[in-house]
């Protein structure tokens, strides 16, 4: 008996995943979490209209979803003032990032990101043999100028930037990113992850001509729309790039019920406004809990708050481990010096009350 004949690239990859899910952690600890505050899901849930639409569509789940995502692309185009030819729909931003890397990156190609930025992008780049070049955060924010300079230095095909940022919650104005684009080298594409932009202050979204070939913008229904489990993401790009996705994407990858639910969610602007209000209140609550315990909450334009634990990565990891031991699921940044922090998702009052109860004990144990 012989093993499958893996490609040399696949055989050389480590057996790792970008994130260990809360379900995996629950199985390991033999108990469910009391408060699920680590994955930046929307604990406020999806639009009731989206739930009703998904329930009504369930009886037709025997049919494949529309492989063209026609209705959803048309609605998204109208919402963003573009044409359907500018819109790509896929299995969350994660799935779309994978397709983008597949389109652009061959073994040995240079790709630029920030040290400690969203790791799933790195996972895809490594999976296609790209070579990652990283720049540090500056003042807990990704640094567009440094990213674009590194791209010029390395001849990179692709640069990844999240605005607002995960895991720090920081952000740049869209106008500042637009100005920095003048330094993006010729032939390099900016993958701009705007997953949290609906949570951010006015002016955070990038103002750009939809036909500009230098940028592809990613959005999701996983955050403020509360549909993380449905896996619905989309990208806005010049038509030539958008159509190129059809060469490599899974044309039947979109769940039929998810397509219909996303349409209903997009139309329910009242629910979107409600969730934004809940996020703002939760950010204030988390910041208050941090301050009550002598910690420093960082400004956030997302549906989470990153909390500076005031020491190093080892101390923050001890705080996190002690929270997990008490049934509170949170996460932390991966890279120094940002790993001095923990990251807490916005939640309902009852979820944050559990966090408030557990944090003092977690700190005491970490210090003891």
Q: How far apart are CA 303 and CA 54, in angstroms?
A: 24
238 and 282 part of one domain: no
Question: Is 9 a member of any domain?
Answer: no
160 and 225 part of one domain: yes
Question: Is 316 a member of any domain?
Answer: yes
Question: Is 10 a member of any domain?
Answer: no
pLDDT category at 26 given cuts 50, 70, 90 is very high
Mean pLDDT computed over 286-300:
98
Query: For 77-81, which contacts have Cβ atoms below 8 Å and span 24 or more sequence positions?
Result: 79/266, 80/210, 80/236, 81/210
Q: Please, what is the average pLDDT of the chain? A: 97
Split into its structural domains, the chain has a count of 2
Q: How far apart are CA 195 and CA 120, in angstroms?
A: 13
176 and 102 part of one domain: yes
Q: How far apart are CA 314 and CA 343, in angstroms?
A: 15
Say yes or no to pLDDT of 261 above 90.
yes
pTM of the model: 0.96
252 and 167 part of one domain: yes
pLDDT category at 95 given cuts 50, 70, 90 is very high
Q: What does the buried/exposed string (b/e) look like for 312-349 if buried means 16 or more CB atoms within 10 Å of the residue's CB?
A: ebebbbbbbebbbebbbbbbbbebeebbbbbbbbbbee
- Please tell me the predicted confidence (pLDDT) of residue 234: 98
Say yes or no to pLDDT of 199 above 80.
yes
pLDDT category at 18 given cuts 50, 70, 90 is confident
Identify the H or E element spanning 110: strand 110-114
Question: Is 4 a member of any domain?
Answer: no
191 and 124 part of one domain: yes
- Domain of 309, CATH number, reads 3.90.1150.10
- Domain of 53, CATH number, reads 3.40.640.10
- Please tell me the predicted confidence (pLDDT) of residue 16: 80
41 and 181 part of one domain: no
- Please tell me the predicted confidence (pLDDT) of residue 99: 98
pLDDT category at 270 given cuts 50, 70, 90 is very high
Mean pLDDT computed over 101-117:
98
Q: What percent of the chain has pLDDT over 70?
A: 100
pLDDT category at 316 given cuts 50, 70, 90 is very high
pLDDT category at 1 given cuts 50, 70, 90 is confident
């Amino acid at each position: 008996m012989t093993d499958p004949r893996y490609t040399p690239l696949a055989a050389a990859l480590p057996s790792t995943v970008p994130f260990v899910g809360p379900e995996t952690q629950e199985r390991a600890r033999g108990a469910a979490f009391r408060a699920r505050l680590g994955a930046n899901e929307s604990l406020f849930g999806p639009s009731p209209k989206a739930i009703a639409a998904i329930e009504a569509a369930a009886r037709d789940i025997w049919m494949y979803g529309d492989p063209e995502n026609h209705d959803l692309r048309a609605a998204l185009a109208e919402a963003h003032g573009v044409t359907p030819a500018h819109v790509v729909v896929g299995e969350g931003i994660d799935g779309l990032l994978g397709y983008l890397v597949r389109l652009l990156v061959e073994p040995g190609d240079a790709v630029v990101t920030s040290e400690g930025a969203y790791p799933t992008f790195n996972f895809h780049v490594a999976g296609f043999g790209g070579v990652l070049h990283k720049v540090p955060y500056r003042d807990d924010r990704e640094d567009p100028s440094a990213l674009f300079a590194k791209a010029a230095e390395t001849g990179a095909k692709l640069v990844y930037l999240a605005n607002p940022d995960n895991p720090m919650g920081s952000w740049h104005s869209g106008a500042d990113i637009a100005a920095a684009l003048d330094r993006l080298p010729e032939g390099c594409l900016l993958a701009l992850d705007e997953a949290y932009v609906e949570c951010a202050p006015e002016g955070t979204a990038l103002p750009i001509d939809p036909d500009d070939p230098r940028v592809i913008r990613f959005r999701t229904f996983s955050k403020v729309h509360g549909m993380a489990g449905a896996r619905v993401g989309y990208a806005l790009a010049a038509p030539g790039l958008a159509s190129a996705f059809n060469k490599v994407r899974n044309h039947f990858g979109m769940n039929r019920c998810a397509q219909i639910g996303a349409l209903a969610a997009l139309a329910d602007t009242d629910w979107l406004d409600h969730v934004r209000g809940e996020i703002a209140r939760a950010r204030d609550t988390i910041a208050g809990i941090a301050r009550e315990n002598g910690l420093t909450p960082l400004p956030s334009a997302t549906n989470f708050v990153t909390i500076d634990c005031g020491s190093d990565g080892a101390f923050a990891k001890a705080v996190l481990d002690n929270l997990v031991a008490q049934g509170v699921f949170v996460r932390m940044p991966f890279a120094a010096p940002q790993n001095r922090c923990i990251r807490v998702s916005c939640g309902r009052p009852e979820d944050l009350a559990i966090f408030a109860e557990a944090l003092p004990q977690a700190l005491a144990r970490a210090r003891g």
